[in-house]
Structure 1
Amino acid sequence: MKAVVATDLSAASEATIQSETCLACIGRIGIEEIHLVTVVPSNVHAGMPGIDFEKRRRRGLERYSRVIEDAGFDVESHVVRGTPHRRIRGIAETIGASLTIVGSRGQSPLENRVIGSTARNLARTTVTPLLVNRVEREAEDPEVLREHLFRRMLFATDFSENADRAFDSFSYLRGATKEATLVHVETPKDPGLADDDPEDRLDELAGQLEEWGIETRTDVRQGDPADEILAAEEQYRPTTILVGSRGHSRLRRLLLGSVSEDLVARANGNVMLVPPASV
């Protein structure tokens, strides 16, 4: 399996790369090859003569590559020019990546505030599973907040086809997952669930995980989906929230897309988004 790791070479975006625990977790789910990607926007030289950003970034990626190679991965580096989220997404598609990883905070005002806005744009458009790795917001030398990326998962489901696809991610995450909390948030207009008991449906999913040796609990809530998922995060303290990036139907696509974007923006820990299958 291959992963794309996007970086703007800021202190925040290098946190995953510098964390031996995070790299071990990535390896534990079957990732063997990591593609480091940094994007130089087309207009980055405007008003900044004499600064070779591409050369500086290549030097930065060389340092990161050594760290990742020492952790046992094959590494390729890409310094590209264009719109960050489009180029990252394009490389992930081209190489057949199983996962894209991006930090949740950028801190390089001179060159490019790539990571904060790019995480949100990728949340809207990614065609591969996306892991948004949360780092400390205020620290000058930030660290990741949840080093064991997949140890304690919170899976939020609306029982849609895309939610089922997100649940299928446990087929490879189980190598690193010890505990899972399965959450469904009931809303006044839950289509297609009138004749189904959500607790029974969660119990069925929990049974699958427990067969894999994952300790599992279930939680059915009522209210606003994003607010309740974040309340469950506060209660259970998972390392990562796992959710499909789309839901029941095209009519609800904007609403459910905004839920995943809310989680990317507001969650305290990591967020993993699984997009719909490519048509």
Structure 2
Amino acid sequence: MKAVCATDLSAASEATIENETCLECLGRIGVDEMHLVTVIPSNVHAGLPGLDFEGRRRRALERYQRVIGDAGFDVEAHIVRGTPHRRIVGIAETLGADLTLVGSRGKSPLENRVIGSTARNLARTTVTPLLVNRIERAADDPDVVREQLFRRLLYATDFSANAERAFEAFSYLRHATQEATLVHVETPKDPGPAEDEPEERLSELAGRLEGWGIETQIDVRRGDPADEILAAEAEFEPTTTLIGSRGHSRLRRLLLGSVSEEIVARATGNVMLVPPDRTA
């Protein structure tokens, strides 16, 4: 598997790259090739006196390359200019990446309002599964919040086609997963009872995971999807929340406050988003 690791060379990005356990988890699910990407904003001019952005970034990336290479990955670095989330998405698509990884300092009241943040924009535009690796906020030398990226997964589903696509990620995540909680949130706007009740549908999915040796439980909730998924995260404390990056509503695709973006902005731990299949 091929992964793109986006870094702004901050302490938060360094925590993601230099944590040995995180790297081991990525190797366990099949990642063997890493592409480090750092984006120089278009409004930063390389010729400004005393500023050697390309040189500084190149030296930092060379250090990161050594760390990742020593962990057993094939690694390549890319320095590009432009809008960060657009260039990261473009490179991931060009390379045919299987995963995009970005570090994030986590939730704050301000970040919930800053729609231009890279992680939140990536949640809206990614063409590959996106792993948002949560980093400690109030620390000068931060570390990742939860090292074992995939040990305990919280999978949230509305039973849409894209939620099913997110579930398919277990085909490789299972190599690093020991426990899973499957969550469905019923809302007041949901239609009447379906042919199969949510508990039955979740139980069927749980059976598939248990066949892979993953200890699984199910949880059906009622209310606002984002609020209830976050409540489930607080209760079960997964290492990563797995969710499709679009809901079943066409309108929801246009809303900045979509469920997936709210999870990225407000979750305590890591979040993995799986986008729709654009070839379908």
Instruction: Sort the TM-score into its range (normalised by shorter chain).
Output: over 0.9
Task: Find the aligned partners of 2:256 and 2:30 in 1 and give their Cα distance.
Answer: 29
CA contact (8 A) 1:246 1:257 kept: no
Say whether the 8 Å CA contact 2:244–2:273 is kept in structure 1. Answer: yes
Point out where structure 2 has 5 or more consecutive residues left out of the alignment: 107-115
1:13-65 alpha-carbon deviations (Å, 9 max, x no partner): 11111100000000000000000000001111399532010111010000000
Counterpart position of 1:245: 245
Aligned to 1:233: 233
Say which SS state the counterpart of residue 174 (structure 1) adopts. helix
Moved more, 184-193 or 65-74: 184-193
2:124 — aligned with what?
124
- Residue ranges of structure 1 left out of the alignment (5+ in a row): 107-115
SS in 2 for 1:154: strand
For residues 23 and 169 of structure 2, the distance between their equivalents in structure 1, rounded to whole angstroms, comes to 18
SS in 2 for 1:139: coil
Counterpart Cα distance in 2 of 1:216 and 1:256:
32
Query: What is the match of residue 173 of structure 2?
Result: 173
Number of matched pairs: 270
Does the C-alpha gap of structure 1 residues 23 and 46 become closer, same or farther in structure 2, counting only changes over 3 Å? closer
SS of equivalent residue, structure 1 residue 234:
helix
Contact between 2:46 and 2:53, CA under 8 Å: does it hold in 1? no
* Closer/same/farther in 2, CA of residues 46 and 32 from structure 1, 3 Å limit: closer
Are residue 212 (structure 1) and residue 217 (structure 2) matched? Answer: no
Aligned equivalent of 2:88: 88
The sequence identity of aligned pairs, in percent, is: 79
Structure 1 runs of 4+ with >6 Å offset: none
* SS of match in other structure, 2:139: coil
Question: In 2, are the aligned partners of 1:150 and 1:173 still within 8 Å (CA)?
Answer: yes
Partner of residue 23, structure 2: 23
Q: Counterpart in 1 of 2:182?
A: 182
Asked if residue 264 in structure 1 is aligned to residue 264 in structure 2, the reply is yes
Q: What are the Cα deviations for residues 204-261 of structure 1, in whole angstroms up to 9, with x where unaligned?
A: 0000000000000000001111111011011100000000011213134345961111
Q: CA deviation at 1:77?
A: 0.2
The superposition leaves residues 46-93 of structure 1 with CA deviations (integer Å, 9 ceiling, x where unpaired) of 995320101110100000000000000000000001110011001101
- Amino acid aligned to 1:164: E
Opposite residue 67 of structure 1, the aligned amino acid is V
Alignment of 1:158 onto 2:155: no
Q: Residue deviations 1:160-185, cap 9 Å, x none?
A: 00000000000000000000000000
- The 1-side partners of 2:125 and 2:242 are apart by 17
CA distance in 2, matches of 1:80, 1:192: 51
Query: Given the superposition, is the C-alpha separation of residues 28 and 234 from structure 1 closer, same or farther in structure 2, using an over 3 Å criterion?
Result: same
SS of the equivalent of 2:147 reads: coil
SS at match of 1:220: strand
Matched to 1:5, the amino acid is C
Describe the SS at the equivalent of 1:27.
helix
1:3 aligns with 2:3: yes
8 A contact 1:131–1:271 mirrored in 2: yes
Aligned to 1:109: none
Residue aligned with 2:13, SS:
coil
Matched, 1:65 2:61: no
**TM-score normalised to structure 1 length:** 0.93
Equivalent position of 1:111 in the other structure: none
Query: TM-score, structure 2 length as denominator?
Result: 0.93
Give the counterpart letter for 1:217 in structure 2. Answer: Q
Counterpart for residue 34 of structure 2: 34
| Distance across 2 between alignment mates of 1:54 and 1:222 | 50
Deviations 1:111-163 (A, max 9, x none): xxxxx811010000001000000000111110000100000000000000000
What is the DSSP-based 3-state SS (H/G/I as helix, E as strand, rest coil) of the residue aligned with 1:23? helix
Q: Quote the RMSD (CA, aligned, Å).
A: 1.7
